[in-house]
Amino acid sequence: MRKALTALVLIAVASAPLRAELKYTMRMEMKKSDTAPAPANPMVAMMGEQMMKQMLPNGGTEIIYVIGEKGTRLEYTQAAMGQAAGAVNIVKPDGMVYVLDPANKTYWKTTSDRTAEQMKAAGMTPEVAVKKTGQTETVAGLKCDVVAFDWKMALPIPEQARASLPPDFPTALTMSGDSCTTNAYPKYTEMIVRGAGGVMTAMGLDKLAQGGLILRQTMLMMGYEMKTLVTQIGEESADAALFEIPAEYKEVPAPTGTPK
């Protein structure tokens, strides 16, 4: 009996990683950069300030990720990326994206592929240049490789509107910085790509990730600096209900301009 129990324990331990999910917390912060020059055009500076306020109105947030076979779940602890504090995103393996509003018990849905298709149709195709630095860091206890990048995306400005813009008004968004990526959890990286691969590729994020998970990233854009940092990461078992829409939630139309 003791041998049988020991065997069952060993089987449970050996199979645990197959049933576990990857959970990590990522901190995002944004501030005016001390190193990146401010935009020369005051209108661009105002546009940059408004965009940054919409991305991180409180200057920072923590996003809790849970990744498993049933999908990827993101929970925003504070308002960020146009979503309210407490908002939850669930990305299914087939690319279906559900945006939940726990405060009002509602949700709306879209797909990662349609978002990518709309970006391409609007001419929003980033140009990304990535260079390995040969440097390594340790973030959240994991070794990661540092890569520098330059990112550029043409703004979808209609031709008839270009004539009315000032001569020095930029026709593209540019961004530079570096990322530190790890290959410590390859199967979870595959799960992310399976669900959100279309958007990742459309934004050029697949090149920045270098086939791994981004543990730290610094981005300089429009005179601002945004930093992301994984503060804790590890495998643990998660309730399957975390990847499902609660029965009491009501579906509502997607916000205007969102792919359906």
Give the largest Cα separation in the chain, rounded.
84
To which residue do tokens 């300089």 refer? 220
**What local confidence, expressed as pLDDT, does residue 113 receive?**
72
Average confidence score pLDDT of the chain: 81
Q: Indicate the DSSP class of residue 80.
A: B
In this predicted model, which residue has the larger pLDDT, 143 or 202? 143
In this predicted model, which residue has the larger pLDDT, 49 or 7? 49
Q: Which helix (H) or strand (E) is 131 found in, with range?
A: strand 127-139
**Residue 60: Cβ within 10 Å count:** 16
**What local confidence, expressed as pLDDT, does residue 56 receive?**
83
Enter the CATH code of domain 19-251.
2.50.20
In this predicted model, which residue has the larger pLDDT, 69 or 42? 69
**What local confidence, expressed as pLDDT, does residue 41 receive?**
67
**What local confidence, expressed as pLDDT, does residue 9 receive?**
40
**What local confidence, expressed as pLDDT, does residue 260 receive?**
55
Residue-level length of the chain: 260
- The answer to whether residue 104 scores a pLDDT higher than 80 is yes
**What local confidence, expressed as pLDDT, does residue 44 receive?**
67
The 3-state DSSP class for residue 115 equals helix
- Smallest CA-to-CA distance from 115 within 22, 45, 202, 235 is with 202
**Residue 170: Cβ within 10 Å count:** 18
Alpha carbons 10 and 114: distance in angstroms, whole number: 45
**What local confidence, expressed as pLDDT, does residue 50 receive?**
78
Q: Indicate the DSSP class of residue 36.
A: S
The 3-state DSSP class for residue 40 equals coil
Q: How far is CA 186 from the centre of its chain?
A: 17
**What local confidence, expressed as pLDDT, does residue 196 receive?**
60
- The answer to whether residue 215 scores a pLDDT higher than 90 is yes
Alpha carbons 39 and 87: distance in angstroms, whole number: 32
Least confident residue range of 75-84, 233-242, 247-256: 75-84
Mean pLDDT over 53-71 rounds to: 88
- The answer to whether residue 106 scores a pLDDT higher than 80 is yes
In this predicted model, which residue has the larger pLDDT, 227 or 207? 227
In this predicted model, which residue has the larger pLDDT, 44 or 185? 185
**What local confidence, expressed as pLDDT, does residue 4 receive?**
42
**What local confidence, expressed as pLDDT, does residue 165 receive?**
75
Residue ranges per structural domain of the chain: 19-251
The sign of the torsion formed by the CA atoms of 61, 133, 208, 230 equals negative
**pLDDT tens-place string over residues 142-197:** 999 999 999 888 877 777 777 777 777 777 788 899 999 999 988 888 777 665 65
**pLDDT tens-place string over residues 65-85:** 999 889 899 999 998 888 889
